[in-house]
Homo-oligomer: A and B are copies of this chain.
């Protein structure tokens, strides 16, 4: 047997970083905090990563690529446009339910921090908006959606609404229980597709 590291230290560091970043924020965490949380020597962080930023980098890319695949996968199904949007909303909400700390880090430190760190990832972030826009656009072609709203515009509103809900959960502005999560999925789609006014 060539390699059998008893514990994957690299993974250990990444997981520790999630916890520490979520707790203190990227800027406020020292590299030693990550190492301590991981139960690992300071220098080892630099053995596996070139910098503190690369750790965050890795966390973002790992999860965001899943989101991108999920959206594009969904788009390839035969579901109705509305169902596709529901699937996207569901995926994002479930991501949060499954690993709130990781999603907190990604949203707070990357997605909503496009100025500092997120700038690097603008292309990937933009790609998510575009993919959602495509779902809307196709919906318009089929007559499922009105065509007087620019697809990218609708996409931004839709994604913005979802992200705002996650932020609300992250910062305890709105209640977060399992039923809240499930309701949220339905309600975002309902709000965006049906609108607030009665039909």
Contacts of A197 in B (CB 8 A): 82, 144-146, 193-195
Contacts of A150 in B (CB 8 A): 187
Contacts of A31 in B (CB 8 A): none
Asked if A164 meets B171 with Cβ closer than 8 Å, knowing A195-B193, A195-B195, A196-B192, the reply is no
Query: Which residue from B158, B196, B198 sits with its C-beta under 8 Å from A154?
Result: B196
A114 in the interface, Cβ–Cβ < 8 Å?
Answer: yes
Query: Which residue from B115, B139, B171, B194 sits with its C-beta under 8 Å from A108?
Result: B115
Q: Is the CB of B198 within 8 A of A145?
A: yes
Question: How many identical chains are in the complex?
Answer: 2
Contacts of A77 in B (CB 8 A): none
Contacts of A1 in B (CB 8 A): none
Q: Is the CB of B171 within 8 A of A161?
A: no
Q: Which A residues, 153 to 169, have Cβ-Cβ distances below 8 Å to chain B?
A: 153-154, 156-165, 167-168
Query: Which residue from B82, B116, B144, B168 sits with its C-beta under 8 Å from A156?
Result: B168
A181 vs chain B, min Cβ distance (A): 12
Q: Is the CB of A164 within 8 A of B157?
A: yes
A112 in the interface, Cβ–Cβ < 8 Å?
Answer: yes
- How far, in angstroms, from A147 to B160 measured CA to CA in the complex? 22
* Chain A residues at the B interface, C-beta cutoff of 8 Å: 25, 27-28, 82, 104, 108-109, 112-116, 119, 122, 126, 129, 136, 139, 143-146, 148-150, 152-154, 156-165, 167-168, 170-171, 173-174, 184, 187-188, 190-199
